[in-house]
Amino acid sequence: MTDARVNGGRLWASLMELAQIGATPKGGVKRLALTDLDRQGRDLVVGWGKQAGMSVTVDQIGNVFMRREGRNPSLAPVMTGSHIDTQPTGGKFDGNYGVLAGLEVVRTLNDLNIQTEAPIEVAFWTNEEGSRFVPVMMGSGVFCGAFSLETAYAAKDTEGLTVKDELARIGYLGEQVPGQHPIGAYFETHIEQGPVLEDADKVIGVVPAVMGLSWYDCVVTGMEAHAGPTPMGLRRDALQVSTKIMQEVVALANRYPPYGRGTVGMVQVFPNSRNVIPGEVKFSIDLRNVNDELLNTMHEEMLAYIDGVRKDSGLAISIERVSYYPPCPFHPDCVGAVRKATEALGYSTMDVVSGAGHDAIYAARPFPPTTDFAGNRASPAPQYRHHRPS
Ligand SMILES: [Zn+2]
């Protein structure tokens, strides 16, 4: 049983077949949530699940659960899954790998005639990407109660089409109440979306936790003026003041290694003319850490710094937190199972804290671990409050 190996060729073939639905000329995939292409992808995967002998249920937000019974029907299923929707310029593997890897496990168990104690379920969650409909991680978010079904149903795409109507149109408006589907344990296999594993020449990252994040919109308002006629001492240059804050965002993250992150990724300068002193600058700030206490410290230090800049410059600076979720440590038993399996199979491995959001964050929420992920400092027990953007 410990020698059981999946059929890599079969997994690869299924990945390539699914990637043909919405294939782009550059070799990627565009299969946005709840489009006709999403329906085709869903139908294909559900068909494969049924061929593998699994029963299929769909909940009211379109999450799909494919089930292989175990010996003991009273046990909650061991679930694995991810998403099969993609970004407009998505790839073949993001999300899809996690779903089809789970399917391949079931196919292998079938081949080897192995019966498990608990049932096994392979899930795919609706609209993980959040590209067509906001918020992201919608299906798993509704499932764990992070936001309501009504909120998700009312979300509209740029053409005004709603999630509820599109779910019904593609035939995936199910009956099961989200969250009323037991999960014994949840595992999500996912391609790494950063450079760490490749840099360290390792095959598998064991993920003890996902970073929490805070997103902000910052607006600095100065005074537009001519670049030549306005002496340096008489300027109210919104861009010069903004760059101080931008530098601090990076410095701040560097003060909290190894998991502090600080990014300014979006900047709009007005009027954006080479001979006009900028009168207004809008930019985004993205702060992350694996420890909620440290993330909050970074938040406070940034606000204090901005207060100082406001006083020194005399410019109006507004800062608004537009999104937040706390770090998510995973249950040590699940993390330990992954570590043990990868080592037993002889793969090179290292622990990698995930910096990107995944459905596993929400799937894990009903089962908070009793111990926190060991960050670089001692930390209090993780908090599972949900903070709505204000
Ligand atoms: Zn993904």
Q: How many C-beta atoms lie closer than 10 Å to residue 121's C-beta?
A: 28
Q: Which residues of the chain form CATH 3.30.70.360? A: 212-325
Half-sphere exposure of 138 (CA within 13 A, CB side): 30
Would you say residue 380 has pLDDT above 50? no
Selection from 300, 139, 148 nearest residue 214 by Cα: 300
Instruction: State residue 306's pLDDT score.
Output: 98
Percent of the chain clearing pLDDT 70 (strictly above)? 93
3-state secondary structure of 11: helix
* The CATH number, out of the four listed (3.50.50.60, 2.60.40.1120, 2.60.15.10, 3.30.70.360), of the domain defined by the range 212-325: 3.30.70.360
Burial label, 30 (beta-carbon count in 10 A; 0-12, 13-18, 19+): middle
CA–centroid distance, 224 to ligand 1, in Å, is 43
Would you say residue 364 has pLDDT above 60? yes
Q: How far is CA 293 from the centre of its chain?
A: 21
Instruction: State residue 31's pLDDT score.
Output: 98
CA–centroid distance, 28 to ligand 1, in Å, is 14
CA–centroid distance, 233 to ligand 1, in Å, is 50
Q: What pTM was computed for the model?
A: 0.84
CA–centroid distance, 12 to ligand 1, in Å, is 18
Selection from 195, 191, 94, 192 nearest residue 136 by Cα: 94
Reported as a pLDDT band with limits 50, 70 and 90, residue 323 is: confident
Reported as type and span, the H/E element at residue 16 is helix 8-19
CA–centroid distance, 95 to ligand 1, in Å, is 4
DSSP state, residue 23: B
Tokens of 244: 């101080």
| CA separation for the pair 138, 148 (Å, rounded) | 10
CA–centroid distance, 9 to ligand 1, in Å, is 22
Tokens of 300: 């406070």
Reported as a pLDDT band with limits 50, 70 and 90, residue 388 is: very low
Instruction: State residue 365's pLDDT score.
Output: 82
pLDDT digits (tens, 9 = 90+) for 249-262: 999 999 999 999 99
User: Is the bond into 229 cis (omega within 30 degrees of 0)?
Assistant: no
Neighbours of ion ligand 1 (CB under 5 A): 94-95
Q: Which residues of the chain form CATH 3.40.630.10? A: 8-191
DSSP state, residue 118: S
CA–centroid distance, 300 to ligand 1, in Å, is 31
CA–centroid distance, 99 to ligand 1, in Å, is 10
CA–centroid distance, 47 to ligand 1, in Å, is 22
CA-based end-to-end distance of the chain: 51
Answer whether CATH 3.40.630.10 is correct for domain 8-191.
yes
CA–centroid distance, 382 to ligand 1, in Å, is 24
pLDDT digits (tens, 9 = 90+) for 88-136: 999 999 999 999 999 999 999 999 999 999 999 999 999 999 999 989 9
Please compute the mean of the pLDDT values over residues 350-366 and round it to a whole number: 89
Instruction: State residue 60's pLDDT score.
Output: 98
Strand partners, 317: 220
Q: What is the mean pLDDT of the chain?
A: 92
| CA separation for the pair 13, 27 (Å, rounded) | 15
